[in-house]
Amino acid sequence: MILGLLGGGQLARMTALAARPLGFRVHLFDPHPHPPAGVVCDQVWRAPFEDEQALDAFAKSVEVATLEFENIPTAALERIGQRIPVRPHWNILHITQHREREKCFLRDKGFPHAPFRVVNNPAELAAALGEIGPAGVLKTAEFGYDGKGQRKIQPGEDATTAWRDWSGDPEERRPHRGVLEGFIDFQAELSVIVARNPAGELATFPVSENEHEHHILSASIVPGRFPPAVHAEARRIAEALAVELALEGLLAVEFFLTRDGRLLVNELAPRPHNSGHHTIDACVTSQFEQHARAVSGLPLGATDAHSPAVMINLLGDLWPAPDREPDWRPILREPRAKLHLYGKERAAPGRKMGHFTLTGGNDLEAILQKARGLKRAIAGEV
C-alpha cells in the first residue's frame, strides 16, 4: 500500500520509518526544501498546500493520506479527499485546529475541561475574569502551539493592560479574538493516545505523565505516577472522545489533573504526539506503526509496554552551536537508552531536534533519575 503523508517533520519521519517494515511505500507532501521526513520517503512532493495541481498529483499517487500536524488547510484535505480517503477526516481537524471550536465541542459533548470564555476586547476580558478568574490564561482562539500566543493573568491585574500586552497591539487597531481559561492549579499534566480504525476497533496506549519547560514538553514518564482510577478515567475519556469524533487514526488527549483529583481535557491532537515517542522503544506497537495501521484500515497492534520508560526531549538549546551537535556518547554508552535524532540541519532554541528514551527494569524512579543524569551529561553540566 502507498501511504501519503502531509507535513514532513519528525512525526512524519517516524511514521514513515515505522510503516516501512509493514511493506508500505510512503509519499510525502511538504512545502519546505529539506523536511526531516524527506530522506526516508519514496517520493516527495514539494509544493505549497494551496497548489491544487500538486495536491491532485500527490492524491493520484497514493491510496490513503494522513497528516502529521493539524494546521494543514482543510481546503487541501478536502481536495485530496475527493480522490482518496484522508484520515482522520477534516471535520476533526476543523475542530482541533481552532481552540474556540475545540473548547465548545468539549463543553457541548459533556467532556470535562477548564472553565473558559470567548473574549473580543478588554471589557469582555474584565467581565470573564470576574466570572472565572481571578487568575486565568488568555490564549489565541486559533491554535498557537507550545504556549505561543498565551499570557497568564494574575489576580487583580488590569484587564486592559493584560489585553494590550497579549495582543501586541497597544492601539487596539486590529480585532483580536481570544479564549480566556480559568487558571488551573494542577498537580500534574498527563496524556493518553488512542487509535481507532475505520472498523471501529480501539487501542489505547498507557498514560504518560508529562513535564513541560517554558510550555514545551521536556519529559514523559510512563506509566504516569497516578492512582489506578486516574489511569482508567483518562483512558475512558480518550476512548469516548475517539468514538464521539468517529476517529480514523490517532488522537492524543492532554489532561490536567487538578489538586482535588479531577481530570480536565486541555487539548486534543489528531495525530502522533510528542508524549508518545517512548512507545517506539517501550511498547509492542509504537504510536507511529499504529498510526499507519489505523489510517490504512489494518487491524490495530497491541499497546502493552515491555518496560516502564522515560522519554527526554532534546531541544536545540542543548546544541553548542546551531550546526554543532552535542557529544552523544553518554547516551550511546548507556545500554538501555535509545537515541532518536530528527536530521534537522540547524538547531535553534526551543526547536525539537531529537529525543532519547530510557527503559529497563521495574524501578521507574531509578530510570527517571538516570535519564535526568544523561540529559545533564549531554548539556555538559556533569
Residues at the site binding ligand AMP, with contacts judged by CB under 6 A: 114, 137, 147, 181, 183-184, 189, 212, 215, 266-267
Angle at 97 between CA 70 and CA 62, to 5 degrees: 30
Q: Which amino acid is at 202?
A: L
**308 close to 359: Cβ distance less than 8 angstroms:** yes
C-alpha cell at 295: 489510517
- With DSSP H G I counted as helix, E B as strand and the rest as coil, what are the percentages for the chain, rounded to 5? 35, 30, 40
Smaller CB distance to ligand AMP: residue 169 or 185? Answer: 185
C-alpha distance from residue 181 to each of 111, 131, 161 (Å): 15, 11, 17
* Residue 247, CB-side half-sphere exposure with 13 Å CA sphere: 28
Least distance (Å) between residue 205 CB and ligand AMP: 19
Of 24 and 256, CB closest to ligand AMP: 256
Q: Please say whether the beta carbons of 318 and 218 come within 8 A.
A: no
Which residue's entry shows cell 526547536? 351
Nearer Cβ to ligand AMP (85/147): 147
C-alpha 293/C-alpha 288 separation (Å) is: 9
Residue that is written with C-alpha cell 519546505 in the block: 32
Residue 129 or 283: which CB sits closer to ligand AMP? 129
Q: What is the side-by-side strand order in the sheet with 2-6?
A: 43-45, 25-29, 2-6, 64-67
Residue spans of alpha helices (H) in 134-188? 159-167
Name which of 74 and 218 has its Cβ closer to ligand AMP: 218
Q: Are 276 and 355 in contact (CB under 8 A)?
A: no
Q: Which is nearer to ligand AMP, 70 or 181 (CB)?
A: 181
Say which residue the cell 486590529 belongs to: 174
Least distance CB 250 / ligand AMP (angstroms): 18
Q: Residue 264 CB, nearest distance to ligand AMP (Å)?
A: 8
Q: Which is nearer to ligand AMP, 28 or 184 (CB)?
A: 184
CB of 181 to ligand AMP, least distance (A): 4
350: left (phi over 0), alpha (psi -120 to 50) or beta: left
Which CB, 46 or 225, lies closer to ligand AMP? Answer: 225
